[in-house]
Amino acid sequence: MGGLLTLMRYSKPYLTIPEQRELLERRGMTVADPAKCEEYLRRIGYYRLSAYWFPFRQLSQNPEGTHTLANNFKPGTTFKNATDLYAFDKGLRLIVLDAIERIEVSVRTEFALAMGSISPLAHRDRNNFNRRFSQFAPPRTQSMYQGWLQKLDEKAANSNEEFAEHFRTKYAREIMPIWIAVELLDFSPLSIGLSQLKHQQQQAIAASYGGISFRLIQSWIRSLCNVRNICAHHSRLWNKPVINQPAIPRRGEAPDLDHIATAPDTNKRVYATLAVMRLLLKEINPRTRWATRLKGHVATFPNDAPNISLKDAGFPDNWHQLPLWS
């Protein structure tokens, strides 16, 4: 029937490591060192590595003029092309995680300061957040705020962190103040709480980041949550479309980002995320050498591999010479 999804039966057979290598060769991939190829397949896995030979697969044209990704590889593709790209992406994820850690710690502190300025338990009063945080409609049985607070309470009651156990022991009948409780929030619920602050607290946080619009800050933090999850799960990052794309400032709103303000769909690739992280780090730690490390790593991109380019990750020409990266 029209509109119904046709279900397919999975029928691919189990393949041993040598059979996996032979399959790649039959599909047109050059394997210069079979033993090393099999070592990679055993240590990393066929499926994980397949994300890195994806750009090297051929396109086949359908009768109606559309294209389908074929199993065969483009001429000149080598197994080393895929493993070089894998190694580059692994290094990129580590550099990104380092920046996100610094940003997360900073945002956590700013959230605690903004709420703590109201009262030690300001986070337990829904009136200290935007009204929509407390609203809900059937079939939901609780508001976002109630769910957020419930998860925080569960963390406070069950966390094995030393500071949490110490607080439960010494202050058994007390509720954690926000500047302690905030340390129990994972990055995602932290970003949710941040986005629901009232205007006065939003402006205080924006001021601490050099006056960057809070509209941009909350969008960037939400986007970085997704990027962090990609890195934490060791997934491909370098050319993956970004979910929850970071908002791009209007021209002149953040001059260091003007070079991406007018480029179409620029925030759908990782470069825009890297640029946002760089801008935040300039405010958080002006002396950081993170940008230098990133530029050094990007210089190792395997440019000799056919059919891939840094443009696939959203990098503009001569990006490293822009004021943002100086």
pLDDT digits over 85-124, tens only? 999 999 999 999 999 999 999 999 999 999 999 999 999 9
Residue 129 has φ and ψ, to the nearest 5°, of: -125, 170
Q: Give yes or no for residue 45 having a pLDDT over 50.
A: yes
Give the predicted TM-score (pTM) of the model: 0.91
131 and 52 in a common domain: no
Q: Is the pLDDT of residue 211 over 80?
A: yes
Whether residue 128 is predicted with pLDDT greater than 50 in this model: the reply is yes
Same structural domain, 122 and 49: no
Q: Pick the residue with more confidence: 139 or 219?
A: 219
In the predicted structure, residue 156 carries a pLDDT above the cut 60: yes
Query: Per-residue pLDDT for 235 more than 50?
Result: yes
Same domain, 176 and 71: no
Tokens encoding 222 = 């939400």
Shared domain check, 172 and 103 = yes
Please tell me the predicted confidence (pLDDT) of residue 5. 62
**Cβ neighbours of residue 52 under 8 Å, at least 6 residues apart?**
82, 83, 85, 86, 89, 236
- Rounded mean pLDDT of 20-27? 97
The answer to the question of residue 14 being in a domain is no
Its domain, for residue 67, covers 20-77
| Residues 98/290, Cβ–Cβ less than 8 Å | yes
Residue 66 has pLDDT above 70, yes or no: yes
Compute the average pLDDT of residues 271-276.
96
Mean pLDDT, rounded, for 152-171: 96
Say yes or no: 55 and 200 in one domain. no
Same domain, 118 and 70: no
Report the half-sphere exposure of 110 (CA within 13 A, side-chain side): 27
The yes-or-no verdict on residue 172 having pLDDT over 80 is yes
288 and 261 within one domain: yes
Residues 108, 58, single domain; the answer is no
Amino acid at 186: D
Number of domains making up the chain: 2
Whether residues 187 and 317 share a domain: the answer is: yes
Pair (293, 226) in one structural domain: yes
Residue 140 lies in a domain: yes
pLDDT tens for residues 300-325? 999 988 889 999 999 999 999 999 99
